Amino acid sequence: MESYTLRVNDQVHDVEAAPDTPLLWVLRDLIGLTGTKYGCGVGLCRSCTVLVDGSAVPSCQQPVSTVGTRSVTTIEGLSESGDHPLQELWNELNVSQCGFCQAGQIMTAAGWLSENPAPSDEDIDRFQSVNLCRCGTYPRIREAIRTAARRMQGADR
Ligand code: FES
Ligand code: FES
């Protein structure tokens, strides 16, 4: 076991874990942030996506020892009141079906939208293609991201 000081959702957490412990399990089991979901555990589904210094990463593939001083954001920390434009559109368009993949979908979108604020539908499909949804909610995901992007640019209200 080693000691790590992590900055998660703008709060500092001191944890003890083996160096190769995936960040996913530190978030869920040691810090209690269960919004980040375990799907495959091998980097293929992205249900476990969080932001590390603003970039979307699969937390099941990020050993806690590699996080360092970088800032981690989970779905719980994306906005103070659950009112990030992506979260608003997810609700307004009833995007979720079973919901299991959806936190990862939102975090992936939040990551790339900051670099690509005016995406085409092709961009959305390409960037989101790493996130699997077995319920097939992709059309609603695309519409939600398209509208959220406009809202983030002040063009949808
Ligand atoms: S649980 Fe991390 S990619 Fe599937
Ligand atoms: S909503 Fe069920 S897996 Fe995506």
What number does the ligand 1 atom closest to the CA of 59 have? 2
Among residues 74, 67, 87, 79, the alpha carbon closest in space to that of 28 is found at 74
Mutational pocket test of ligand 1: of 26, 37, 46, 62, the residue with most ligand atoms within 8 Å of the beta carbon: 46
pTM: 0.96
pLDDT at 155: 72
pLDDT tens string for the chain (157 positions)?
Answer: 999 999 999 999 999 999 999 999 999 999 999 999 999 999 999 999 999 999 999 999 999 999 999 999 999 999 989 999 999 999 999 999 999 999 999 999 999 999 999 999 999 999 999 999 999 999 999 999 999 999 998 876 5
In order of start, what are the domains of the chain with their CATH numbers?
A: 2-77 (3.10.20.30), 85-152 (1.10.150.120)
Long-range own/partner contacts, residues 137-143 (CB < 8 A, 24 or more apart): 137/95, 137/96, 137/97, 137/101, 137/102, 140/93, 140/94, 140/95, 141/95, 141/105, 141/109, 143/89, 143/93
Ligand 2 pocket test target in 44, 94, 100 with most atoms within 8 Å of CB: 100
111 contacts: CB under 8 Å, gap ≥ 6: 49, 51, 54, 55, 56
Q: Take atom 4 of ligand 2 and give the residue whose Cα is closest.
A: 133
Q: Would strands 71-73 and 2-8 be described as parallel, antiparallel, or unpaired?
A: parallel
Q: Is 138 in the pocket of ligand 1 (CB under 6 A)?
A: no
Task: Tell me the best of 34, 48, 57, 107 to mutate to test the pocket of ligand 1, counting ligand atoms within 8 Å of each CB and taking the most.
Answer: 48
- Any idea which ligand is nearest the CA of 42? 1
Q: Which residues of 37-132 form beta strands (DSSP E)?
A: 49-52, 55-58, 71-73
Q: How far is 145 from 86, CA to CA, in rounded Å?
A: 7
**What are the φ and ψ backbone dihedral angles of 18, each rounded to 5 degrees?**
-65, 145
Rounded Cα–Cα distance for residues 61 and 40 (Å): 11
